[in-house]
Amino acid sequence: MKTLKKIWKHRAHVVMALPALVLLIVFDYVPMGGLILAFKKFDYRSGIWGSPWNGLENFRFLIASKSIFLNITKNTLMYYVIFTALGMFLEIVLAIALDQLVFKRAGKWMEAVLIIPVFISYTAVQFIVYAFLSSDTGMLNHLLGKSVRWYSNPAYWPAILTIVKIWNGTGYGAILYMSVLAGIDPQLYESAQIDGAGKWQQIQHITLPSLVPMITVMLLLSVGGIMHSDTGLFYQVTRNSGALYETTQVIDAYILNAIFQNSNFGFTAAASFFQSVVGTVLILISNGIVRKLHPENALF
């Protein structure tokens, strides 16, 4: 009864939150029913609920080829570490640089320009990358004065994908950190200046400590998706070239290829279930560690 009274008291907020809640249930919770396929041998004629159970067979199929499974897992973890570490560092540096910019009007224009790449689909990005890396007409080969077959040599692609990812997401990440910097009391900087602190000392003792809670939250949220990768980046930008699988195929791209090749939905459900379980366990462990060290920065 008390709950109903609270809902009625805050009915305006409930109505405002209702569309987001419906979308969350429809697109996040309802599809979770499909995880049952991870333990079934899917039959089109019988449907999801009528298909026979096959225990852990789909999971065995996932790790049947140990070399492939270990390679895609290694690639997934490697790119997560590179993208998270380098991306977060550049986002923080860029956010502080824009925040300290003397010409604030120029800073606003730069913010608008930096956030544009995140709205560009990887479907379009693949053509931009191809314009640079095409063996015959690529701009990069013309600049180098030689013909490099970029889409046949996997050694180049960790660097290429990192550049594309940083270009795509750094500006947006920097804007998020700038929202935190905007909330820092200017009097703290004024007091530091009176005490003789220079710009670097102000950044070291005021700016960076203020960003720690945001950095912690972003890291905790990213840990939950450690086994997930941006499928558009690894599938479309690489043009799904088999010659590049050694360094570019991650778990999500592997699952997508499996769907197109054999339509084994039980296997894809098992792989997704594996990713979700690993992500959940890691975020619980990470949050537990943060809660012990800095309880105020924990998610829950």
pLDDT band, very low/low/confident/very high, at 103 (cuts 50, 70, 90): low
* Stronger pLDDT, 145 or 165, i.e. the higher one: 165
Residue 222 near residue 299 (C-beta atoms within 8 A) = no
pLDDT in tens, 14-54: 889 999 999 999 988 888 888 888 899 888 888 888 889 98
* Stronger pLDDT, 108 or 37, i.e. the higher one: 37
* Stronger pLDDT, 22 or 13, i.e. the higher one: 22
pLDDT at 1 over 70: no
> What does the block give as tokens for 255?
């699952």
Q: Is the pTM of this model over 0.95?
A: no
Q: What is the pLDDT of residue 102?
A: 61
What single DSSP character describes residue 146?
S
Please report, to the nearest 10 degrees, the dihedral formed by the alpha carbons of residues 34, 39, 43, 47 taken in order.
Answer: -40
Which of 255, 271, 251 minimizes the C-alpha distance to 263? 255
pLDDT in tens, 242-278: 899 999 999 888 888 887 877 778 888 888 888 888 8
> What does the block give as tokens for 237?
């930008």
Q: What domains lie within the chain, and their CATH numbers?
A: 64-297 (1.10.3720.10)
pLDDT in tens, 185-217: 889 888 988 888 888 899 998 999 999 989 998
How many CB atoms lie under 10 A from the CB of residue 140? 13
Mean pLDDT score of the chain: 87
| Mean of pLDDT values over 136-149 | 87
pLDDT at 69 over 90: no
Which of 25, 55, 26, 21 minimizes the C-alpha distance to 38? 55
pLDDT at 129 over 90: yes
Contacts 24+ apart (CB under 8 A), 114-120: 114/170, 114/171, 114/172, 114/174, 114/175, 115/171, 115/172, 115/175, 116/171, 117/167, 117/168, 117/169, 117/171, 117/172, 118/168, 118/169, 118/171, 118/172, 120/168
